[in-house]
Amino acid sequence: MRKSCILAGLAVLSMVAGHAQGQSAGVVQFAAGDVKVIAASGSERIARKGVPVSVGDTLLTASGALAQLKMGDGAIVVVQPESRLTVAEFHYDGKEDGTEKVRYKLDHGGFRAVTGAIGHTQSRTT
């Protein structure tokens, strides 16, 4: 009995950890050229309009390619050619309550962003 309770608890913890990694962050609004979405697990899919982007996903753009994302808070992110951008963290529950957060990791290349709700509440200069 105790062993099954421990196993059940471990299963719940792994689901919670997996949810944070795969939490929906946005959607591909536009992609031109060779653009891929690489999941944290390593699986790849072609970036097309409507393809979801989750926390932990990486957008990879080839030479001459670009992608535009619409994030869950209304932000627009444009990933430039020859770039590798990961959605490292995204939390927005549809309301501005201080828990909203976004963080990107740019390995190389460039991106532009027009802030959404998170940028309006979390703006600060460092």
**Could you give the CA distance from residue 50 to residue 67 in angstroms, rounded to a whole number?**
12
97 has a pLDDT exceeding 50: yes
Residue 9 pLDDT = 42
125 has a pLDDT exceeding 60: no
Residue 22 pLDDT = 67
For the chain, what is the radius of gyration of the CA atoms? 17
- The pLDDT of 98-125, averaged and rounded, is 83
64 has a pLDDT exceeding 60: yes
Q: Give this prediction's pTM.
A: 0.77
Confidence of residue 1 (pLDDT cuts 50, 70, 90): low
117 has a pLDDT exceeding 90: no
**Owner of token pair 């050619």:** 81
40-60 pLDDT tens trace? 999 999 999 999 999 999 999
Return the structure tokens found at 104. Answer: 């990107």
Residue 21 pLDDT = 54
CB of 88 within 8 A of CB of 105?
Answer: yes
**Residues in a beta bridge with 59:** 37, 85
Nearest C-alpha neighbor of 76 from the set 58, 53, 99, 57: 53
**Could you give the CA distance from residue 35 to residue 39 in angstroms, rounded to a whole number?**
13
Residue 114 pLDDT = 93
Q: Check residue 92 and give left, alpha or beta (phi > 0: left; psi -120 to 50: alpha).
A: beta
Residue 13 pLDDT = 36
Confidence of residue 85 (pLDDT cuts 50, 70, 90): very high
**Could you give the CA distance from residue 88 to residue 5 in angstroms, rounded to a whole number?**
33
CB of 74 within 8 A of CB of 117?
Answer: yes
